Structure formats: structure tokens, C-alpha cells
Amino acid sequence: MKCFYYFKDRNRNREQKSAPILKNLSKFDGISETERITKSSCSATSPRSMPELYEQKAQNLRVFTYSELRQATNNFSRLLKVGEGGFGCVYKGSIKPLEGKGDNLIVAIKKLNKDGFQGHKQWVAEVQFLGVVEHPNLVKLIGYCAVDGERGIQRLLVYEYMPNKSLEDHLFNRAFPTLSWERRLQIVLGAAQGLAYLHEELEIQVIYRDFKSSNVLLDDDFKPKLSDFGLAREGPSPGHTHVSTGVVGTYGYAAPDYIETGHLTSKSDVWSFGVVLYEILAGRRSLERDRPRAEQRLLDWLKQYPADSRKFAIIIDSRLEDKYSLNAARKIAKLADSCLAKSAKDRPKMSKVVETLKQIAEVSSVESSPTKYSEDKPKEEPMKQMGDSESAKRRLAHLAKISEHIGGVSRRRFMMMQRAKVT
Ligand SMILES: Nc1ncnc2c1ncn2[C@@H]1O[C@H](COP(=O)(O)OP(=O)(O)OP(=O)(O)O)[C@@H](O)[C@H]1O
Ligand SMILES: [Mg+2]
């Protein structure tokens, strides 16, 4: 059975008292309660759990009152709204430094718009995971606010502010200048390093479960940082192969084996990473419902243009013009193919992906000469062969199509959930 959740915005701006919730976190914690660990062999000594690690680090997070955050955002002014996702609206805000010393700090404040259990559960997961992890490619959580008032609950998160929006914005929103080839490579490398840290460098393994271009935020140097840890889960403990859980994620990015079985492993993230690799090559979303049926799913459409074929260059984002390395692009496509292997165990670990991406970035920078794009690209490249007026008409039509598409995309936010099939 499949159910779909669409988190609608219910704006509630009520004054309520903020109270620290650290002690209550485990009470609401859905992280391990609903999950069973499947045994493959005898278990080793168990590492500390995420709530235990959180207890140790929790004092690093600031607990804000609701009125502090309301003031920080000018009463959650629409003018300060910087984005909106399935969880709620995100505002730019300015908070006073601790103990009142120094300049105000610019932050992003995410306000949960749903007081249902699922939203709260994700909020708790986000506080716990982001309270524990620490890496240059993961967004920093500064603090939170939790209010249980007479009229319902308020849950907010306060993050470091990421001025350059998300990878999704730069890849697919034509209002932004084209993201250069070098930046694309730099962004996927940083994002891969963030995932490798979660999978391989912590005391416990963390599976991110919602890797997608909108969750890769960009700082002022376009350095990527992963955000949104609401769906993150602890990986299987030593001696276990996977975690069995309800299936949640985003259409177009979730691994098919995970959707099918509910068996979650770090290789589910590797699949999603493969999807994003193709998004940066093609400048196309993993799922575009306004295209002809055969072209809606990026991964299906790509099958006709394998990495080694002459036709491969057709998939490359036309906004890159010829300013990319075709050789490096082929290598990225091959890496993406390995991340998208049908069987999870055939997918590379993220540390291997990082290593390969570093090698590709080197090849790409050495090849400063123009690409062989024009040799490979089929003759009917439309824009280049048209006269000025024809070209202008095409551009206008294209723009109109894009604005329709953007409207569709903003309605696209949804999550999916399916009970795990217990085997
Ligand atoms: N720390 C931040 N700094 C600056 N802008 C942010 C920050 N976090 C989120 N945003 C902005 O808010 C937008 C919405 O983010 P959010 O994570 O709520 O939704 P989403 O990723 O688009 O969708 P989903 O809810 O499915 O994850 C982001 O695309 C980004 O533009
Ligand atoms: Mg997000």
C-alpha cells in the first residue's frame, strides 16, 4: 500500500512560550522505535546510539524563544521568506549573539507548518542528527525553538545562512546564471564528501535518505552543504546488513530496491547521488512531469545515450555550450552508472566516489582545450543554425515553457511513504 503525503502550509504565528525540549526528545523520537534491525551474523558490541551522542553534544545548540525568532524575522515577514519545502517556510533572520557581544548573526529560520506527528518526528531527527554531526559540507544547526502552547505546537530550526540558495535553483531555474562546469564538479565533490563523512567517518553510520539537488545548499563561495536531516536514520549496527523501515524520500531520487523492500542501507544514498550526478550533466530534473511521457524520467531518457556512445553529448546541458570537458563528462556518467547499479552491493562506497570525482576533476582541469562537443554533437543543433529572429522566437517560446514548468515545480513538493514489506 502506498500513501502520499503533501505537507500543506498552515500559517500560524501565535505567541507562545518556548521551553527547552532536550529531555523530551527521546520521548518523541521515532528514529529507532519503529525500525527493526535485520541480523546477518552474530552482533558485535553496539556503538552508542544517536540519542546518546546527542546528549553529549546537545549543549552546543542554542534554545530560542518563539518571540526571539519572531523578532529575528520581523514577525515571519513574507519579505524575508527565502524558500519553502515540505516541512515549512524558511526565513532569513538576524539574531543577537550569545551574551549580547559582537554583531548580529544572519541565520535561516525554518518554521514547521504542520503540527502532525510526521512533521514533529522529522524535526526531532533533524535536531538530533545535526546536533551531532560536524563537517564543512553539512549545514550547521545553530539552535531550535519548541513551543507546546494551548493552541498547538511550534517547531523551528535555526541554521547558518546559505546565501547562494540550492543546487536545484542554479541548475533548473533560468533566473540564475548558468552554473559553470567547474562549479558543478566542485559542488558534487563537496556533496560526496558530506555523504562519505555520514556513511564512513562517524562513530555510528548515518544514512541521509533524502539526497537531492534541493537539499544541497550553497554558501557564498558556492561550497555545498547538505541540509534537511529530517529523514536521516542510523545505519545498521555492526553485524547487520540493513535497517528495515517505512519507505520515505522523494520521487525521482529514492533507490528502487529500497522502495521495493524497505531495506535501508547507505547504498540507497549512493543511488540518489547517481541521480544528482546525471542532473548536473543534463541540467534536467530527475522527474519532469510536463515533458512527453518517454522523457519524464531522466534515468529512462538517458538510456538511449550511453556514456561511451557518440550520441552521449546530446544529454549535456545545452547551457554549458562548449565550456566543459566531454571526456570528464563521460567519466562522470560512468561513475553515475555505477552508483545506479541495480544491486545495492554493486554500488561504490561514497569514499570511492569521492576519490573518483577528485580524479575526474583533475582530468577536467588539465583539458583546458575546447571540448570535442561539436564533433560529437549531431548536426541539427537548432539555436546555432537559426537566423536571429527565428532564434528570438524560439527563446520566447522556451521562456514561456519554463515559467509554466516552474509553477509546476513549486506544487511538486511531496514525500512518499510505504510500509516496509517485512520479509
Ligand atoms: N540554511 C539555509 N540558508 C539559506 N537558505 C535556506 C537554508 N535552508 C533552506 N533554505 C532555502 O529554503 C528552500 C527550501 O528548503 P527546504 O529544505 O525547506 O525545502 P526543499 O529542500 O526545497 O524541499 P523538501 O522539503 O522536499 O526538502 C531551499 O531551497 C533554500 O533556498
Ligand atoms: Mg530541503
| CB-CB neighbours of 338 under 10 Å | 15
* Residues in contact with 251: Cβ distance below 8 Å, sequence separation at least 6, in sequence order: 287, 414, 416
- Among all bound ligands, the one having the nearest atom to the CA of 219 is 1
317 assigned to active site: no
Q: Are strands 206-207 and 88-95 parallel, antiparallel or unpaired?
A: unpaired
pLDDT at 66: 93
pLDDT at 115: 55
Within 90-141, where are the H helices? 117-132
| pLDDT, averaged in runs of 10, over the chain (423 residues) | 26 27 36 36 57 75 94 97 89 90 92 71 89 95 89 88 97 96 97 98 94 97 95 88 87 94 95 98 95 92 96 96 95 98 97 98 71 42 38 40 35 38 30
**Cell 498547538, residue?**
152
Residue whose CA lies nearest to ligand 1 atom number 13: 83
Ligand 1 in reach of 213 Cβ (< 6 A): no
pLDDT at 363: 83
pLDDT at 54: 76
For 376: left if phi > 0, alpha if psi spans -120 to 50, otherwise beta; the answer is alpha
pLDDT at 407: 34
pLDDT at 28: 36
Ligand 2 center to residue 211 CA distance, Å?
9
Q: Is 334 annotated as a binding residue?
A: no
Q: Which of 91, 164, 166 best tests ligand 1's pocket when mutated (most atoms within 8 Å of CB)?
A: 166
CB 194 within 8 A of CB 135: yes
Q: Which of 5, 89, 90, 415 best tests ligand 1's pocket when mutated (most atoms within 8 Å of CB)?
A: 90
Ligand 1 in reach of 112 Cβ (< 6 A): no
CB 255 within 8 A of CB 268: yes
SS3 252: coil
Ligand 1 in reach of 416 Cβ (< 6 A): no
Residue whose CA lies nearest to ligand 1 atom number 20: 85
pLDDT at 78: 96
* Planar angle of CA 76, 82, 87, nearest 5 degrees: 75
pLDDT at 120: 82
pLDDT at 64: 95
Ligand 2 center to residue 227 CA distance, Å?
6
Residue 197 has which C-alpha cell? 563523512
* Residues in contact with 421: Cβ distance below 8 Å, sequence separation at least 6, in sequence order: 260, 261, 262
Among 268, 275, 157, CA closest to 216: 275
- Give the position, in ligand 1's atom list, of the atom nearest the Cα of 159: 1
| CB-CB neighbours of 395 under 10 Å | 11
* CA 56/CA 343 separation, integer angstroms: 37
User: Which helix (H) or strand (E) element contains residue 247?
Assistant: strand 247-249
pLDDT at 380: 35
Ligand 2 center to residue 373 CA distance, Å?
34
210, 228, 269, 317: the active-site residue: 210
- Among all bound ligands, the one having the nearest atom to the CA of 87 is 1
- Among all bound ligands, the one having the nearest atom to the CA of 176 is 1
